[in-house]
Amino acid sequence: MTVSRRCLAERFEFLVVLASLCVVAVVGCSKPESEVIVCAKAPVPPEADVAVRNVLAGLQRKDLRALWEFLPPSYQADVQELLHDFGQRLDEKSWEPFVTTCRKARLVTQQMTRRLGESGDAANDSDRELVAKLRDVEQFLKVVCDSELSDVARLNNLDAFRFLGGTGNQLVEVVTHGTLGDSDLGTDVFSQFGAVKVELLESIGDSAVLNVDSAVLNVQWPGQEATQHKFVRVEERWIPQTLVAAWPTEFPKVREQCLAWADDLRANPEPWHARLREFDQLLDELAATKSVAETQQVWQSGASRLIVAWFGVAPRDPPKTEEIPVESPLPTKPARVKRPETEVLLPDEPQK
């Protein structure tokens, strides 16, 4: 999946909603709610524009904890409760094959990197780039294999705030490093956050009835027109009004989908394990390659095979072109059939 500059410059509220919900992808469970609130120690800024700039500055530093601190405590509690319930549904039988495959992928990648690097087979820039990417992929897998994600027991004691500041930040650093950082998912994604301009246009004080502050911000992404967005203060956190409106209805849907997937995985792990076995087969094929060219060929064919097996989508073949003569001859009248016995031509029309 690629991420373009245009996608990053979409509505600011959508970015914040998506970023706020991204921690749902972290499997495991959390510590009690009281500890969650203690984790969010960042001082509450007096104005909405300062709060947004703080989040953007944290993301520019590739610190995922900025997203967590941005959420109101009750929203944090909702996410933590989901993580807890999700973690309770995981077991060794359903999760261990994933860990085993990750460890094998790391070992195979490490061996391929060493073998291709020592053989001197990488003769051009494209080949050398492949070897460099293999090193970065191996480092990414190392972080996963050494993290809480590799052990269900450790996942049961996982704290989301600490995970984001530890393993989460390490994964971001690896993804944005070196050759991986040169891709669309690389450093440019995070560097753009520092170039976003945020201006406070309007601020309304506490309402005696609703006890809610509101503010209007002018937000401008690099190379894009500025847009206005309304923020409100909830539990001493400034968040987009769209997030406040969407949370009561959209988060329960996310929760239901995540728990349904976990229940299905535990009750029927075979489809999940079958996909892992298919990937395991590709790892065996990659481990047997001897050259950069062979590695690229095996990977391309294997990746296409996995796409078909996992998603039922066949890769599109290149369009076929038909050769059309410049000057096509005029259609000719079909030759009349001869009688084999007499070699006499049949008449054009039947005799009357």
Contacts of 204 (CB under 8 A, 6+ apart): 213, 214, 215
Show the DSSP H helices in the chain as ranges.
5-8, 12-21, 33-39, 48-60, 65-70, 73-88, 92-119, 125-146, 152-155, 160-163, 169-175, 178-181, 187-191, 241-267, 270-287, 292-311
Q: Has residue 256 got a pLDDT over 90?
A: yes
Backbone angles phi, psi at 264, to 5 degrees: -65, -40
9, two tokens? 């410059």
- What average pLDDT does range 1-27 have in this prediction? 39
- The pLDDT value recorded for residue 325 is 47
| pLDDT grade for 313, boundaries at 50, 70 and 90 | low
Question: Measured between alpha carbons, how far is 148 from 167 in angstroms, rounded to an integer?
Answer: 8
- Report the pLDDT averaged over residues 200-216: 64
Indicate the pLDDT class of residue 250, thresholds 50, 70 and 90: very high
Is pLDDT at 275 greater than 60 in this prediction? yes
Domain ranges of the chain: 7-267
pLDDT of residue 66: 92
Per the listing, tokens 């393993």 go with 167
Q: Rounded distance, CA 46 to CA 43, Å?
A: 9
Q: Which residues pair with 227 in a beta bridge?
A: 219
Check: CB of residue 160 under 8 Å from CB of residue 83: yes
pLDDT at 125: 72
Q: Is 0.85 topped by the overall pTM?
A: no
User: Is the pLDDT assigned to residue 222 strictly greater than 50?
Assistant: yes
SS3 338: strand
